[in-house]
Amino acid sequence: MKIGLTSMNTGNLCEPTLARRIAQLAEQQGYDSLWTAEHIVMADPPVRMPATMRLLDALHALTFFAACTERMELGTGVVILPQRQPVVLAKELTTLDILSGGRFMFGIGVGWQEAEMNACGAQMHERGARADEYLAAMKALWASDKPEYHGEFVDFGGVQSYPRPLTPGGPRLVMGGYAPSTYRRTIQLAYGWYGFNRTVDQTRETLDALSSLRSRVRRPAELPDEIEITVAPPQPIDRAGVQAYAEIGVHRLVLRPPDGSSNEIEDFVRAHAPRELGVA
């Protein structure tokens, strides 16, 4: 079991001095990874989350953390892919992959907040189709000698995008979400799966669904046979909780620090360090 921190670009961690201190403390304490959340805008009136929730851009924040740390993995949990322009995003991800020395994991989801989707120029009913096209288009830019893609939402040819990512074929892809289409993409395309705010029972349901689907969906030989499972549990966790997730096949837990004072956040990071949870 690995232990990371998530939501590192939210709330009081938007303050750069504090964010740097917490990232470096986490590395010293043996955490394996830092993850960022994404919402470009928040619905107002609010839906599920406060309209005034503070979030820095997920990729810019990870670039900052890449400069602050030396060894930690860096992941998005998750970028809402249909809201992003894929040719621009491919360049941004390549840059982060290179500047982090290949430590970056590209976690994506298709989104749930309709007001946000509309504001970014996408529609809820087409978000799955956009996600599929965007992934294919970015892969062409990262891996094809003569990149081109011609689809409903993306259309280009006669272009090149250099430098290519440090990670061959592009950053490791991690799928977030709980729909059958997400599980299909996880098996066919992804290095791993990311679950936010998922209990042990909810995570077990996902793992059972992935296991069942693998009997009908081929996993490419270039991907690791085992899908790395990362989960953000819904509450602070103790050793027994870590063991419960480990027993069902979770590989990494990512914990959310409180949106409190610097001392409160530092105390949380120390109290939930891997050695304190029995996994160092």
pLDDT value at position 105?
Answer: 98
Task: Tell me the residue type at 70.
Answer: E
Task: Enumerate the β-bridge partners of residue 176.
Answer: 194
pLDDT of res. 235: 85
pTM of the model: 0.97
* Residue 236: band (very low, low, confident or very high) from pLDDT cuts 50, 70, 90: confident
SS3 264: helix
**pLDDT score recorded for residue 280:** 72
Average pLDDT estimate for 249-255: 98
Domains detected in the chain: 2-271 (3.20.20.30)
Mean pLDDT of 267-279: 97
Query: Could you say which DSSP state residue 71 is in?
Result: S
Q: Report the alpha-carbon distance of residue 122 to residue 114 in Å, rounded.
A: 9
Burial label, 1 (beta-carbon count in 10 A; 0-12, 13-18, 19+): middle
Which two tokens mark 257? 């620090």
Please give the mean pLDDT across all residues of the chain: 97
**The pLDDT of residue 2 is above 90:** yes
Q: Which of 81, 86, 222, 77 is nearest to 142 (CA)?
A: 86
Is-contact 278 238, C-beta < 8 A? no
The structure tokens 């970028």 sit at 79
| Tens digits of residue pLDDT in 119-176 | 999 999 999 999 999 999 999 999 999 999 999 999 999 999 999 999 999 999 999 9
Q: Where is 254: in which H helix or E strand?
A: strand 252-255
* Span 79-120, pLDDT tens digits: 999 999 999 999 999 999 999 999 999 999 999 999 999 999
Q: Report the run of H or E that residue 107 belongs to, with start and end.
A: strand 104-109
